[in-house]
Amino acid sequence: MRRLQQHATKRLLCTRVKSQNPRTMASPTDKEGRVHLKNMTLKELESYFESDLGEKAFRARQVWQWLYKPSKLVSSLDEMHDVSEKLRRRLRDEATVDALTLDSVNTAQDGTKKLVFQLSQGGAVESVIIPATSSSGRKRNTLCISSQLGCAMNCQFCFTAKMGLHKHLSTAEIVDQVVQAQRLVGAEGERISNVVFMGMGEPLHNPDNVIKATEILLHKDGINLSHNKVTVSTSGLVPAIRQFCRESSAMLAVSLNATTDDVRNWIMPVNRKHDLEELMQTLRDEFPRGIGGQEKVFFEYVMLKGVNDTLDDAKRLLRLTAGVPCKVNLIPFNAHDGSEFKSSERDDVLAFRDLLANAGMVCTIRESRGDDRMAACGQLGEGSGAGRRAPPRTRPPPRLELATC
């Protein structure tokens, strides 16, 4: 009976990832077959304690707080002082606290830190801590986290895309990036104030693990991040957008980057499956959102010289987003080895921004951070340790064949 209960619990913890390739499946256990405690929501942890361990649910809540309370964030069971030695000894055999091993911290000149985490079953993922100071002098840290080892979307301007997809990250591997980053900044008396799913991978290609991770990050008895301080970015996977909007109260951002289908088909091949018309209609349907109350979708727009940065593009962007409550964040392209793209001229970025702003659209420019350590937007993957399996490059529209020369 006990073996059947353990099997049922591990099956509960297994994620429902969409890929059928075992090589990309997220693992619910470590190499020794122990369950990752951070794979579980509080309700699942309580069920595990009651069904598998024969313990009261309040014991699970004790462990939960040791895992996630900002003043605790333990790395081992031995640090859980109010948990009995008998229970800790049993948990050592069946469960594990950390899902990742922090391998290195690389600090850029501007203070941005790139964290490289080793996965227990091979490979490495990267997170980025971006420090900032508000106008009132208050320090805050934004953490950019990964959701996959590699990525299947093949966006032409992204360094991570050159890896292809190696693995979906489990819920534990996603959440642990936040926990270990908080340990790091907590040693300096600071906190992670914002989390963005904008690192390696397409978050909504791994929706079940990502949505569960947001639930854990937002839980009031744990890390307790505000729902408007956690943002999940997508390249435009329409069915998963609908799922996310109905199941998570975190914020949604959409990486747009083009105003016509022919350009977006080229630089973001996902557009061939879910074109701009379908994407925009979905956002009109979903916004303002019921869950979480997000009123406006955040559009990210990487500025590529000669590709998507003209005033005509800005005018088309206004027409394209008509009826979609939104804000636009312009992102200067961050160069990397082998890229055929260049960043737009600063004057062109400002003119693009001004046209949108003068038309009444909320539009900001994101300044590059950490690019001297390959820690900026679109540059992650250098320390992954996974072999390169560069997917094929796509052909530009005839009218833009000279744009990348």
**238-251: pLDDT as tens digits:** 999 999 999 999 99
Average pLDDT estimate for 24-38: 83
- Asked if residue 215 and residue 150 are part of one domain, the reply reads yes
The answer to whether 251 touches 294, Cβ cutoff 8 Å, is yes
The angle subtended at Cα 127 by Cα 123 and Cα 128, nearest 5°, is 150
pTM of the entire structure? 0.91
Instruction: Decide if 321 is inside a domain.
Output: yes
The answer to whether 180 touches 68, Cβ cutoff 8 Å, is no
Which neighbouring-strand residues pair with 299?
254, 328
Cα gap 59→152, rounded to integer Å: 40
The reported pLDDT for the residue numbered 9 is: 46
- Asked if residue 105 and residue 92 are part of one domain, the reply reads no
Q: Is the pLDDT of residue 1 over 50?
A: no
- Asked if residue 79 and residue 158 are part of one domain, the reply reads no
> What are the b/e assignments for 165-182, b being 16+ CB within 10 Å?
bbbbbbbbbbbbbbbbbb
- Asked if residue 113 and residue 37 are part of one domain, the reply reads no
- Asked if residue 106 and residue 88 are part of one domain, the reply reads no
Q: Who wins on pLDDT, 45 or 384?
A: 45
Instruction: Decide if 405 is inside a domain.
Output: no
Q: Is the dihedral of CA 262, 266, 268, 273 positive or negative?
A: positive
Domain boundary among 49, 71, 96: 96
Number of residues written out for the chain: 405
The answer to whether 201 touches 123, Cβ cutoff 8 Å, is no
Worst-scoring range by mean pLDDT, 30-39, 87-96, 149-158, 366-375?
Answer: 366-375
The reported pLDDT for the residue numbered 23 is: 59
**92-139: pLDDT as tens digits:** 999 999 999 999 999 999 999 999 999 998 999 999 999 998 777 788
- Asked if residue 250 and residue 131 are part of one domain, the reply reads yes
- Asked if residue 301 and residue 170 are part of one domain, the reply reads yes
Instruction: Give the pLDDT band of residue 8 (cuts 50, 70, 90).
Output: very low
Instruction: Decide if 232 is inside a domain.
Output: yes
Q: Which ranges of 227-372 would DSSP assign to H, the alpha helix?
A: 238-247, 261-267, 276-286, 311-320, 346-358
What are the catalytic residues?
Answer: 126, 377
The reported pLDDT for the residue numbered 382 is: 66
241-245, 368-372, 376-380 — most confident range = 241-245
The reported pLDDT for the residue numbered 5 is: 47
CATH of the domain at 173: 3.20.20.70
- Asked if residue 396 and residue 262 are part of one domain, the reply reads yes
Instruction: Give the pLDDT band of residue 281 (cuts 50, 70, 90).
Output: very high
Average pLDDT estimate for 266-289: 98
Instruction: Give the pLDDT band of residue 373 (cuts 50, 70, 90).
Output: low
Give the amino acid at 104. S
Q: Who wins on pLDDT, 234 or 23?
A: 234
- Asked if residue 146 and residue 20 are part of one domain, the reply reads no
- Decide the pairing of beta strands 192-197 and 165-168: unpaired
CA trace torsion 399, 363, 247, 150 (10° rounding): 50
The reported pLDDT for the residue numbered 89 is: 96
- Asked if residue 300 and residue 279 are part of one domain, the reply reads yes
Q: Residue 11: in which H helix or E strand, if any?
A: helix 2-13
Domain boundary among 79, 96, 113: 96
- Asked if residue 255 and residue 372 are part of one domain, the reply reads yes
Instruction: Decide if 198 is inside a domain.
Output: yes
Domain boundary among 60, 81, 96: 96
The parent domain of residue 115 ranges over 100-400
The reported pLDDT for the residue numbered 19 is: 39
Q: Based on the structure, what is the number of domains in the chain?
A: 2
Residue 393: C-alpha distances to residues 161, 337, 372, 396 (Å): 10, 15, 26, 9
Instruction: Decide if 342 is inside a domain.
Output: yes
> What are the b/e assignments for 300-331, b being 16+ CB within 10 Å?
bbbbbbbbbbeeebbebbeebbeebebebbbb
The reported pLDDT for the residue numbered 138 is: 82
- Asked if residue 76 and residue 119 are part of one domain, the reply reads no
CATH of the domain at 89: 1.10.150.530
